[in-house]
Amino acid sequence: MCMKMTFIFLLFALIILQTALAECPDGFEHHGTQCYKVLPLEASWIEAKHYCRLLGTELLVIETAAEETTIEGILTKLHGSHLDEVYWVSGSDMISENNWLWLTGDGLSVPMNFSDWGFGQPDNAGHHQDCLLIQYHGVARTSWYDEMCSNQHSFICEIKYVDHEEVVVG
């Protein structure tokens, strides 16, 4: 019995070590300082945020034009040039109307220093569009729209890339 418990403990420790040494979680793409995963699951905005947290990641925050270009490249590789699709990202104005913030999983709200709103957006149609989605157009371009948070869409999760070769211990 003791030998079996030792084996189980060692196996568990090996799994934890392998996960800790992974630079990006399984299925995530490494680009620069981040790892990204497009999830084609249909979820509300809050469900998407919870799902990303369950993966140990966050719903996407697009901080720069360069990062948006990276996301466009990932979506182009995924869809080619024949499909329009929308994806939840972490932006919202639910705290204060028309004051768009990135709402992170740790409860922080970060101002948007970069945005790429579509024509006439955000428009808060029906006075209930408080969550941000990006629409990928089949011409390798995205634009941002406000949307009702309860609507169901795919989403994109991200996590910071960990380069274990740069970690210095001691």
β-sheet bridge partners, residue 146:
132
Quick check: helix, strand or coil at residue 85?
strand
Q: What percent of the chain has pLDDT over 70?
A: 80
Q: Does domain 26-161 have CATH number 3.10.100.10?
A: yes
**pLDDT on residue 80:** 73
Split at pLDDT 50, 70, 90, the class of 165 is: low
**pLDDT on residue 69:** 93
Split at pLDDT 50, 70, 90, the class of 84 is: confident
**pLDDT on residue 82:** 65
What is the pTM (predicted TM-score) of this model? 0.80
d(CA 86, CA 99): 22
Q: What is the pLDDT of residues 9-63, one digit of tens each?
A: 433 333 443 444 558 999 999 999 999 999 999 999 999 999 999 999 999 999 9
Q: Where are the beta strands (DSSP E) in 93-152?
A: 101-103, 109-111, 129-137, 141-148
d(CA 119, CA 154): 22
- Which amino acid appears at position 53 of this protein? R
Pick from 139, 25, 150, 153: nearest CA to 89: 153
